[in-house]
Structure 1
């Protein structure tokens, strides 16, 4: 199969029929063999009923319904697991991503032998409270990840080589950092494609202020996991050793200062009367704790067995 189109959706009932018809037209015109994988992320507006109706007309649809809302990352992860096409293309269900972009995404992945091709919406039709945080996160992510050729990490319209989606894990709210996850997994052929962005035709945006905070925390998680997941002792142990040695040196200085004062017969302050003693004590305790944290982290796998166990209600 040439293409798997993976579509996570939540309360997008009005747009589904138009989107599926659009995808079919584009793929038929280009003689692509394809499937449409739709993941209903716990919709409450009748989206699943609409998908069941569409399935009767479009046998290319493979649909999965979550019992509750898990989030876009969960939907993408399940969609990636189900995909069988040589090229996997993701897009949002709100008609702001254009299926007309599918041919160029497919051909670039194939002809340039790319791992990932990320869409770039140069002209956006989103409210200011969504575009400003996006610009900030994109700038920070470029800096942290070193992927300097991408302008829009969070664009829903992306194309992947099949091997990429089968070897990465998307959880929490990490979907906005998939290029970073792919890079940490060793898939470095990442490029960008300018795509059209359409105004929202139906429904309302699912963007909230909490995503601003969660996005920043997820970026820190991505950075830490990518750098230290296989060697946590290098992170915690280094900090622990530095803290312990700093406290130990301060303790030695306090003791030697007292001994020198005694040998000279001069007056001196008790070690425990000096603020530096307590600073040294805290540094030694913190250093020991950090070192032990690193040691324990070396023994515990960061991957829980049930991280991506989602309660799927129906599959058609």
Structure 2
């Protein structure tokens, strides 16, 4: 099979049939063998009923239905697990991503041997204040932190080789950072393609300004995980030792200072009246706690079990 198209969705009943017809036409024009995997992430409208109808009409249509809303990352994880195509395309269900981009994305994976190609919505139809400016700031921070030089991490239209999607773990809210996850997994040939961005035709966006706040928090998380996820003691242990050393040296200073004044018969304040006493005490306690955090992190890392990320109620 040439292509698997993975489409997470939430309450997109109005756009699904039109999107399906558009994809089918593009696939037929290019003689691609394909499958479309719709992942219904807890929709409360008629999205799942429509997916069932589409699957009955077209054997290339498959569906996964979550019992409730688990988030886009979990939907992509389920779609990647089910995908069988040599190239996996992800796109949104709101008609803002154009299926006309799929043939070129496919060629960039198969012909140009990219591991991953990310879309870049260079010309956007979103609000400048609400989305464009925060998005530019977010993408700048993501480039600086991750080292992956993409202009649009948030673009849902991406293409992957099958090897990539079968070897990365998309969890939490890390769907924005799949290129970073791929890079960390050793897939270094990451490209970018300018793609068309279309104004939303039906409904309203499911994402608000909070996604940028969450995005920055996730960026810090993935930076930490990429550097210290497999060795938390290297960070917490080092910080703990440093803090403990500061406290220990402060305690030595207090002791030496006290003995010096006693030896020279000079008046000396009580140890508890010396501000260095509290600096020493606080830093030694913090250092011990940081060291223990690293130690516990190592234990958890080696004993954790894979937790259930989502629950599927139906599958086509």
User: 1:162: which partner in 2?
Assistant: 162
TM superposition outliers: structure 1 runs of 4+ over 3 Å? 302-309
Mean Cα deviation higher: 7-16 or 206-215:
206-215
Unmatched tracts of structure 2, length 5 or more: none
TM-score by length of 1: 0.97
User: 1:272: which partner in 2?
Assistant: 272
Q: Residue 230 of structure 2 contacts residue 301 of structure 2 at CA under 8 Å; is this kept in 1?
A: no
User: What's the offset of the Cα at 1:185?
Assistant: 1.2
Whole-angstrom CA distance in 2 between matches of 1:290 and 1:25: 58
User: 2:296: which partner in 1?
Assistant: 296
User: 2:182: which partner in 1?
Assistant: 182
Q: Is the aligned partner of 1:143 residue 2:144?
A: yes
Whole-angstrom CA distance in 2 between matches of 1:303 and 1:108: 41
Q: Deviations over 1:273-296 (max 9, x none)?
A: 111101110100110111111112
Q: Is the aligned partner of 1:224 residue 2:224?
A: yes
TM-score by length of 2: 0.97
Q: Is the aligned partner of 1:45 residue 2:40?
A: no
Measured on the aligned residues, the alpha-carbon RMSD in Å equals: 1.2
Q: Residue 74 of structure 2 contacts residue 309 of structure 2 at CA under 8 Å; is this kept in 1?
A: no
Q: Deviations over 1:45-96 (max 9, x none)?
A: 1001111111122110110011111111110010000001000000000000
Whole-angstrom CA distance in 1 between matches of 2:15 and 2:304: 36
User: What's the offset of the Cα at 1:190?
Assistant: 0.5
Whole-angstrom CA distance in 2 between matches of 1:66 and 1:97: 23
Distance 1:307 1:135, change over 3 A: farther
User: 1:85: which partner in 2?
Assistant: 85
Whole-angstrom CA distance in 2 between matches of 1:69 and 1:303: 29
User: What's the offset of the Cα at 1:24?
Assistant: 0.9
Q: Deviations over 1:228-282 (max 9, x none)?
A: 0111110000100110000111110111011111111111112111111011101
User: 2:314: which partner in 1?
Assistant: 314
Whole-angstrom CA distance in 1 between matches of 2:161 and 2:144: 25
Q: Residue 27 of structure 1 contacts residue 34 of structure 1 at CA under 8 Å; is this kept in 2?
A: yes
User: What's the offset of the Cα at 1:7?
Assistant: 0.3
User: 1:2: which partner in 2?
Assistant: 2
